[in-house]
Chains A and B, each alone.
Chain A
Amino acid sequence: MSRLLERLKEEILVLDGAMGTQLYKKGLEVGDCPEELNLTHPQIIEEIHREYVEAGSDIIQTNTFGASRIKLNEYELGDKIEEINKKAVELARRAAKKDTIVSASIGPTGKLLEPMGDLPFSDALEIFGEQAKILEEAGADAISIETMTDLQEARAALIGIKEYTSLPIICHLTYEQNLKTMTGTDPLTAITVLEGLGADVIGANCSMGPEGLLKVINKMGGDTDTYLCVQPNAGLPILDENNNTVFPMEAKEMAGYIDSFIESGANIIGGCCGSTPEYISLVKEKVKGIKPKKRERRKETQLASRSKRISIADHLPTRIIGERINPTGRKELSAQLKEGEMEILAKEALKQSEAGADILDVNIGVPKIDQVATMGLALEKVQNLVDLPISIDTTNGEVLEAALQKVVGKPLVNSVTGEKESLERVLPLVKKYGAAVLGLTLDDNGIPKTAQGRLEVARKIVKRAEDLGIKRENILIDTLVLTASAQQERVTHTLEALRLIKEELGVATVLGVSNISFGLPHREKINTSFLAMAIQSGLNAPIMDPTIVTMKDTVLTSDLLLNKDPGSKRYLEVYGNNEESKKSKAEAKKEEKDKNILERIQDDILKGSKETIIDKIEEGLKEYSAFDIINKGLIPGIKSVGEKYDKGIYFLPQLMLGAEAMQKAFGILKPILKEEGDEGNLAKIVIATVKGDIHDIGKNIVKVMLENNGFEIIDLGKDVPNEKIISTALDKKADIICLSALMTTTMPRMEEIVTQLKEANSTIPVMVGGAVVTEDYAQNIGAHYSANAVGAVKVARKLAGN
């Protein structure tokens, strides 16, 4: 075992502090490549290392943070990669005492990885691997992956370094104020992913103060027994009147946090930007003689996406693996995948996520296509749309490895079997990429008939996986569902096997539930019963279609009855408070029928149902005039939309959906109104965004709302000169002028217009609004203010005397 891991068993180790800060203090320009200093100013680098060693650092980190080929190339130093990295280790080693651990620093590439950026995962693996290999050969004891902000890059670094070296790895992510990394990963998700990949020490450093970092370490400490490392920010030392270096308040305060860090379970404590040897000696004093806190690991199966993790365990709710991204038996989806089109796939991902899937299975198994490329596209699409962990569903080794590189987080590999060839192909990839794996209980002899036989296959899979270093909690077992129509007597074998495996092996279990009903009528009825039985027998994660309501309901109700839904919380969320869902569809229909057609038109506006409103208007016209439909159906409808908006029940999109339905209705009614000889307009309004201002979405929203409330609108557009607004208003005998301005620089046009109107002896009232316009400003210039489109309608009604 390495020295680092040996010592961590019993001690809290002290890391070093910042390198850059010290270089700066020693008067070195840090504008150029800081790693080049290993060659140009070796004595200074060595001196800094020595200062930390003497201050008490048990671990010192080499000056190689940016010495990857990709970073060095930016300074045209790529060809010196070996020289720079080797020299760095040598300098640290020279400064080290006998028992000092030299950990080689590796930082981010500065490029974003696919799918967010354009650096291919496999290139990143090579880059990290190359640097790590040089560092190991030069004699480093460990590798410190530092200040990663993108989980995917951290993955690439870990996998690459493991591939090329056998050194222990400390992996740091950088957290922001919201306790997430820049790309949205929280500490617990990070733990799941980094542990899966075999990080020996998981660390956190950050741009926020020690208080925020303490929260991060606290969360991590309560969740894992993996060693933890913390590098708080120290702030920079300042000079006092005698030109002595002293710690600013922050650093002193920070020393007060060290006890809490230890209490939260930190095993290594160092310093980030701005920390100094003086600070390190403070840390050393604090940790002297203190044993690291013993922490417990949660033995739960965990999967993760970039920003979310899912735990699978008997005491937790049943987790749904959404099965709909699968071209088997689905012609349209197959056809699209063949063309590399992802439209249906995208819809399925969204639908399942919104229906409550916890994990999404992705299967693109269409014959005769480039499956590697298609899987890549599919995963990119799915991960862009939803934040659920992925189950990679393929039996092809090449496709699997490509997918494992594309998935950000910790996926489930679906699947391995007990067959020799499958075990040899799949398990090493699962280990390398830190995934979890689903084992199917079949082997070279087929599916065992008995439950006992399936248990034996499960044992074999678990043993082979564990031999490779895959942890028990990263193995899930599927006892295989056979169709009841063909093998009715064997249905219970599947369930019995679940129980046996759960009892003996304690692993999480999975079943492809809907197989059970193949070939039988009314499959849903059988599927739901079987699902309930399976959950009771110990099924943790059914592969199923969450968009089928009865299936989802079976999960919810089974969980409630089996005490997997504490306080019936999830059940009540869905069925407790929602008045609307209590009503059956039949009841709703009956109510609908009883309502007068005008009320039903109102309802359509309220719901924004632009598809159905046209039929209803046609129906209404049989009984009522267009004028009545507008004033007794549409206007009350849009008024209640406005009220809901005012109360914060509706928001802009719903307001606009209501408006869309109104416009559809007006499309039919306007010509008829003319025939009826009454255009029914409340008042005439000239609306414009003022000269110089080009932002007009706000004005357009106001315009639509006014129009829908029965005002006649003359829209002059944006960037309109004062003169044009005034002359139009006078010529067309407008009742109101409505002005919008977004910027402080264009707002003065409003005042000018009001003044010019007065000079022209006009009494046309002016309404104003827009981001920077306030009620005070409006009053000052003698105009009428409204804060939003709904407010504007009210003001306009008032001004029109209605």
Chain B
Amino acid sequence: MIIIIINDIKVKTDKNEVKKQLGYKENTKTTPEIEESISTLIEKANTLIKARSSYKILDKIDLDEKNSLVNLGDGKLKFKSKDILNLLQNQEQVALLTLTIGKGIEEESLKLFNEGQLSDATILDAIGSIATQEVANYLTEIIKEQGIEMGLPYLTMRYSPGYGDLTLDIQPKLLSILDGEKLGIRTNSSHLLIPQKSITAIIGLSDKKDDKVGGCDFNCKECDYNICIYRREN
């Protein structure tokens, strides 16, 4: 399978999601000033976001249960993780993906912070997080469509390094498989993604529904995954 690179993804940031990200509950009221700030900043964010992504579907999954070893695409990506072992147990193929919204938002947010525009800086950062998730959802949908075409319509949740026991140190390898360089996504010495508003992830594709690994619907309230970095208290 070839790498699919998608450039210039249009992002539509949902204002309500941004408010949730900032901690607002469904029925809490904000002030007209804050409503306006959020709307204006979403506008601004649209000019700062440069969303790019790539994914690749590998058809070979080797799982070594005894040693918790996962081997994807015939040695393309090898690592240890019980969680991924569980995730991919009944999966036919596996999609690797990465995406970013670019560094525009984080730079602007920092600039605002340094200028004393603290509220705007925080709001813009939250918008960036939501936009990143939107791009991830969009990409997942594309992978799902391809899955359907391949007769593998069931997707597992999007599992990212940093969740559970999947360590960050596979990110450099993941990025080299996915041509991260071309998208402008890199890692630092502790394997964190640069730009910050970027994601790498693994999704299993199957022809059977597997309730155990159903997709994450961001229903954080019901979820036990306390250390999930995308956890939202709402």
Contacts and interface: CB of A to CB of B under 8 A. Distances in A.
Given A30-B150, A651-B30, A656-B122, 17 more contacts: A116-B12, A118-B8, A235-B208, A236-B208, A250-B209, A385-B39, A651-B23, A656-B118, A659-B119, A660-B116, A663-B116, A695-B196, A700-B113, A701-B122, A704-B118, A743-B190, A744-B227
B182 interface: no
A346 interface: yes
B125 A149 contact: no
Closest 7 CB pairs of A and B: A692-B190, A656-B119, A656-B118, A24-B151, A651-B23, A657-B119, A652-B22
Given A694-B192, A697-B109, A354 B32 contact: yes
Contacts of B110: 697
Interface in A688-712: 691-695, 697, 700-701, 704
Contacts of B117: 660
B34 A654 contact: yes
Nearest to A65: B149
Interface string B47-65: 0000000000000000000
B37 interface: yes
A607 to B, nearest CB: 9
B162 A744 contact: yes
Given A346-B43, A651-B22, A656-B118, A743 B149 contact: no
Contacts of B167: 745
Contact of A653 (B122, B190, B194, B207): B122
Contacts of A653: 22, 30, 34, 37-38, 119, 122-123
B208 to A, nearest CB: 6
Contacts of B10: 112, 115-118
A273 interface: yes
Interface string A1-34: 0000000000000000000110110000011001
B196 to A, nearest CB: 6
Interface in A111-131: 112, 115-118
Contacts of B126: 652
Interface in A494-541: none
Interface string B176-196: 000000000000111110101
B125 to A, nearest CB: 5
A207 B137 CA distance: 14
Contacts of B151: 20-21, 23-24, 30
Given A692-B188, A701-B122, A743 B168 contact: yes
B194 to A, nearest CB: 7
B122 A692 contact: no
Interface in A649-702: 649, 651-654, 656-657, 659-660, 663-664, 691-695, 697, 700-701
A717 to B, nearest CB: 11
Interface of B: 8, 10, 12, 14, 22-25, 28, 30-40, 42-43, 46, 109-110, 113, 116-119, 121-123, 125-126, 141, 144-145, 148-151, 153, 162, 167-169, 188-192, 194, 196, 207-209, 217, 226-227, 229
A694 B43 contact: no
B119 A746 contact: no
Q: Contact residue range for chain A?
A: 35 or more
A30 B28 contact: no
B111 to A, nearest CB: 12
A656 B39 contact: no
Nearest to A273: B153
A24 B150 CA distance: 8
Nearest to A660: B118
A701 B109 CA distance: 12
A184 B138 CA distance: 12
A654 B189 CA distance: 36
Contacts of A695: 192, 196
A149 B141 CA distance: 10
Contacts of A196: none
A350 interface: yes
Nearest to B145: A110
Contacts of A365: none
A317 interface: no
Q: Among the interface residues B30, B35, B153, B189, which one has the most CB atoms of the partner chain A within 10 A? A: B153
B149 A745 contact: no
A203 interface: no
A608 interface: yes
A648 interface: yes
A274 interface: yes
Contacts of B39: 350, 385
Nearest to B207: A236
B28 A651 contact: yes
A233 B33 CA distance: 46
A691 B189 CA distance: 9
Contacts of B118: 656-657, 659-660, 663, 701, 704
Contacts of A184: 14
B30 A772 contact: no
A384 interface: yes
A697 B121 contact: yes
A182 interface: yes
Contact of A745 (B37, B123, B168): B168
B30 A694 contact: no
B229 A354 contact: no
A350 B36 contact: yes
A742 interface: yes
B226 to A, nearest CB: 8
Nearest to B126: A652
A248 to B, nearest CB: 8
A663 B191 CA distance: 35
